[in-house]
Structure 1
Amino acid sequence: MLWPMLALALAVTGIAVLAVPAVRVFVEVRRLARQVAESSRRITRAAEDLERATAPLGGQVDALRRGHGHDVRQDRLPTDVRD
């Protein structure tokens, strides 16, 4: 009867020893997942900001390609320099 009890005690101890690192890994994976989600939100927000910032420029470039626009650089010069 001693050997089966010893085997059972060792099995329970082994499961407990393995459970501690498993819980730690679980906690770290959840923390990493939160960081990845936050980084993804930041990247998405930055991409949207970049898209909004480049939209006016894209329209000007499109007009220049079609030949309907004028020199975009002249719009930024003071009036006394343009003449």
Structure 2
Amino acid sequence: MFWPMLAVALGFLGLAVLAVLAVRVFVETQRLARQVEDSTHRIGRAAEDLERATEKAARSVDAL
């Protein structure tokens, strides 16, 4: 009777470890998603800034 109970306990422990790891993966995935979103917004702002600078440079060239 000892070995079956040990096997069940170890199986439960294994599932608990997998559950903890799954939660950690989920949390890190959410953090990565927030970082990607932030980077996307930064790239968008940089593209807009570059577009405005290009327009100003084109006007300066036309003025010459």
| Same fold, TM-score > 0.5, yes or no | yes
The size of the alignment, in residue pairs, is 64
Distance in 1, matches of 2:37 and 2:24, equals 20
> Is 1:15 equivalent to 2:15 in the alignment?
yes
Which of structures 1 and 2 has the larger relative contact order (alpha carbons within 8 angstroms, sep 6+)? 1
Say what the alpha-carbon RMSD is for the aligned residues.
2.0
Q: Which amino acid aligns with 1:5?
A: M
Rg larger for: 1
Q: Unmatched 5+ residue regions in structure 1? A: 64-69, 73-83
What is the percentage of aligned positions where both structures have the same residue?
64
Q: Which amino acid aligns with 1:51?
A: E
CA deviation digits over 1:55-80, x for unaligned, max 9?
2423554x5xxxxxx6x2xxxxxxxx
> Is 1:32 equivalent to 2:32 in the alignment?
yes
Structure 1 segments (4+ residues) deviating >6 Å: none
TM-score, scaled relative to structure 1: 0.61
Give the structure 2 partner of residue 53 of structure 1: 53
Q: Which amino acid aligns with 2:31?
A: R
Q: Unmatched 5+ residue regions in structure 2? A: none
Structure whose residues are more often helix by fraction: 2
